[in-house]
Amino acid sequence: MQSEDTSSIPDGYKEYKNDRLSFVYPEDWIQQNMEENRGYWLKGAFAAFVSPDQDRAYKDFVASGRATEGPSRSSLVISKWASMNDEEAKGGSSAGDRSYSGLEDYLNDTQNAQRVKQETGVINLNGQKAYEITIGGFGQNYGVILERDGVIYELSFPTINDKQSVTAEANTIVESLKFY
């Protein structure tokens, strides 16, 4: 969805905006149709985008007839969960059944060997405390996770392996995140 106020949108970017949050993303990225791809998406994902290069890589991989493992379809997946106790917020069914009082409790749980999200840094997003994380499981990727009014929000970059590999585009997306 495109916002009408384009004054703060950097050249070469579009704005995604819903009733709770907004951020910018590169104008040549394709917003994916969540309904068409519902079987692929994790519970909680409400928006996803793919860069032209990643879209080509994925289509080439599928056309090659290789196994189902391969390049991620998305360059960015945005998810929201009601609490840190949601199975997908914790990283899926293999993350265990431990209960958490919130995001910080989860990230500080050093005794849960099944915890697939590991903090790599703390950042400030427009006055909101957020955590840079690596997300394990099938492969590893970079993400940003935060808790706002008990709700967990995550920006996952499936094609970026770690904090050291973060692109200028990913930084612009993360730094533009605003809540309403």
- Identify the pLDDT of residue 97: 81
Domain spans, the chain: 13-179
Give CATH for domain 13-179.
3.40.1000.10
- Identify the pLDDT of residue 2: 45
**Whole-prediction pTM value?**
0.87
Taking only the tens place, the pLDDT of each residue in 42-66 is: 678 899 999 999 888 888 888 888 6
Q: What is the DSSP letter of 37?
A: T
| Contact (Cβ atoms closer than 8 angstroms) between residue 133 and residue 140 | no
d(Cα 134, Cα 27) in Å, to the nearest integer?
A: 26
- Identify the pLDDT of residue 96: 74
Q: What are phi and psi of 130, to 5 degrees?
A: -135, 165
Residues of the chain with pLDDT under 70: 1-7, 36-42, 66-72, 137-138
Name the strands in the sheet holding 141-148, side by side, starting at the edge strand that comes first in the sequence.
30-31, 45-50, 76-81, 151-157, 141-148, 128-135, 117-125
